[in-house]
Every structure is written in C-alpha cells, then in structure tokens.
Amino acid sequence: MLMESMLTTNQAARRLGVKPATVYAYVSRGLLTSKKVNRQSMFDVAEVEALAQRTGARGAVAAVTDRIRTRISLLEGDRLYYRGRSVPQLASTRRFEDVAHWLWTEIDTVGLQFPEGQEIWMALPESATLTDRVRVAVALASAGDPLRFDLDRAVSTAKSLIADVVESLPLLGKPEGTDIADRLWARLSPLPPVPEVLNAALILLADHDMAISTMAARVAASARAHPYAVVSAGLGAMEGQKHGTATTLAHRFLAQAESDPMGAVAEHLRSGQPIPGFGHRVYSSRDPRADHLLALLRGHGDLVADKIIATQPQTFPNVDLALAQLGLTFKMPPDAGEAIFAIARIVGWVAHAMEEYQEPGLRFRTLGVYTGDRP
C-alpha cells in the first residue's frame, strides 16, 4: 500500500470527527484496518473516507465552520430572515440603504442616504464585464483610502464603497433619483426606471447566511483584513462557476428561449445539460427570493421564465432565474444580474466582517490531512 494513501491516527480522527481512542475502537470492531508503518498505526484514506460517509462524520472543516455564530441571516423552512425579519417583507416596504444600515448596526433608519460616490476611472479592455469593473473599482477605492485599516470605520467605508462602485459603472442615462437603486438603474437599463424592482432585488440579495463567498469574506475578516479586502475575497469566490456566474448562464438561456421556450428546453434536455436557474442546495421546495422577485416582474408583462417554469414541475426556480428575468425584462446586459448580486452582497460581507472582527483572530486555522510521501 502506498504511503501517500495512508493517514495517521490523528488525521483519521480529525476526518471522522472523533477522538483517537475512538479510532482504535473502530479497529477492534472491524470497521477500520490498522497497519503498522515505522512503528506507527496508519489507516487507508479510502477506508477512512468510506467510514466517514457511512457515519455522517463532519470532520475537521465542519468543526471549524460550526464555530460561526451569526445574528445576521436565518434560513429556516424555505424562508429567509434578516435579524429575525422576513426578507420579502423588507423588500416590499424598505429601501436598500435602510436595510443595509440595519444589517450593519441593528439601528432602524428611514430615508438614509449614501454618499454621492466618486467615479473611479479605469482603463479596461472592451471584453471587461460589469463584475470586472466592480472588482477593479473595489481595489482602486481601497488604494485611495489611507484609513482603510481602521476597522471601526467599517460602516462608513461600506457606504462609500457601494456608492463608488455604482458610480464607476458605465452610465446609460441620467439617474432620476439619489437612491442606490436609482443610480444603479441608470447604469444597467436604457428603459424608463422602475427602481422599486431593483431596490427589492438588492434587498433580497444582501445576505444569505454562510454562502461560499460569505465564508471567504469571514476568513479574510478573521485575519483582520480591512473591509475592502473582505469584499475582494467575497468577489473572488463569487466569480466561481458554481456561485455568482449562474445568473449570467440563466440570462443567456432565457434569451435563447424567448422565441421558442419549448425548443430551448428540449435542446438542453437533449444535450444532457440541466436547465439553468432551478433548484437550490439550501431550499427544499421554493426559493423565497425568486418567488418575490418574479411576482414583482409579472406586473411588467409576460415572463419567459414562467413558460420555462411550467416545463419543470419537479423542481423550483431560484433567484438566478429571477435575476435573469429582471435583466431580460428591462433590456439589461447579460451580466447585469452578476453586478446586482455583487453590489447587494457587499452589504452582507461587511456585516459578517463586523461580526468576525469581534471574534478571536485567525480562528479558522485548520490542519490539512496530508496524504503525500512521508519523510
């Protein structure tokens, strides 16, 4: 048996989420096989992994993430709450700025205004996406803030950062208001503004418990990274194919399906590809964010998404499909959903960073399970 495919007793215990003595108990019960290598008990990786799967062991990584306690978001019973308040209800009754400030401070406001924001000039190639511009704007805003390491300024930093990021996107028309939704609409859609729909989308996407991008943000905050770096960490994870880019794929599919919904579905099924914008790891039967946003969009005409949903009775639409429909309805660029997602989620990342700043630093340091050649 090759050494790189073997674990020490302590490594096996960490993977199984038990004490080393329990590992030897597994050996005595015939659940694991121990081999002596250089007078040390060693265990086959595949055998340990198979036992972990059978026992539902959560292992070392889960032991680290289980230490995260948060007062920000609650996902329960296919419902989403911010600090105990229904998110769809907030999206119906509140402004994005007020919800953001409340998530950061637990202080209610009405009519809170973010700063005007400054346009950050950037020389980017024509192929640059809106989220490319968001990432570069965050980096440049950070470089221009000499007080960025003052973590006590996180709230004011976040307000200015969101305003700067929005201001740095290409302008399509003149904003008809001063709210973030008004300013962002003028940069995403050439149509007359319907800012209440965009305001709702921003609120619905502001946070979502321990999504992978939020985990990345909290790990950065654990190292006492400043808010700009925390947001950059979140944006890096969001750029992954399994996370933030899903809404762009859904937009492309809806655009293809606009003229022939059944044909587009059939083509996807024929190629063995899943229909974009359906199902969710966390929700079991409905995504409350998608339900709310699609309901708002139905007031502005027939939806291509509804025709696709009718062909998928075994699953449910998620917020990626709803964002894609938002972009399609109001003639936004294909990647507008990603930009909306990124700007909204800055709120959640900073809220989680502020929580993490109150915890012991570097608390997510874990040990790898080494499976390479041994000295």
Sign (positive or negative) of CA dihedral 129, 131, 136, 140: positive
Nearest to 45, CA basis, from 374, 373, 370: 370
Is 346:161 a contact under the CB 8 Å cutoff? yes
3-state secondary structure of 85: strand
> Do the first three CATH levels of 3-65 and 72-365 match, i.e. the same topology?
no
In angstroms, rounded to a whole number, what is the distance separating the alpha carbons of residues 278 and 56? 27
Nearest to 318, CA basis, from 281, 345, 347: 281
Tens of pLDDT along 297-329?
Answer: 999 999 999 999 999 999 999 999 999 999 999
Sign (positive or negative) of CA dihedral 275, 281, 287, 293: negative
- Give the largest CA-CA distance in the chain: 76
Fold designation for 3-65: Multidrug-efflux Transporter Regulator; Chain: A; Domain 2 (1.10.1660)
In angstroms, rounded to a whole number, what is the distance separating the alpha carbons of residues 241 and 245? 6
Q: What is the pLDDT of residue 150?
A: 98
The superfamily CATH assigns to domain 72-365 is Citrate Synthase, domain 1 (1.10.580.10)
Is 325:40 a contact under the CB 8 Å cutoff? no
Q: What is the pLDDT of residue 375?
A: 76
Per-domain residue ranges of the chain: 3-65, 72-365
What letter would DSSP give residue 321?
A: H
What letter would DSSP give residue 118?
A: -
Q: Amino acid letter at 196?
A: E
Q: What is the pLDDT of residue 171?
A: 93
3-state secondary structure of 203: helix
Tens of pLDDT along 193-250?
Answer: 999 999 999 999 999 999 999 999 999 999 999 999 999 999 999 988 777 788 999 9
Q: What is the pLDDT of residue 2?
A: 47
Regions in the chain scoring below 70 on pLDDT: 1-5, 58-67
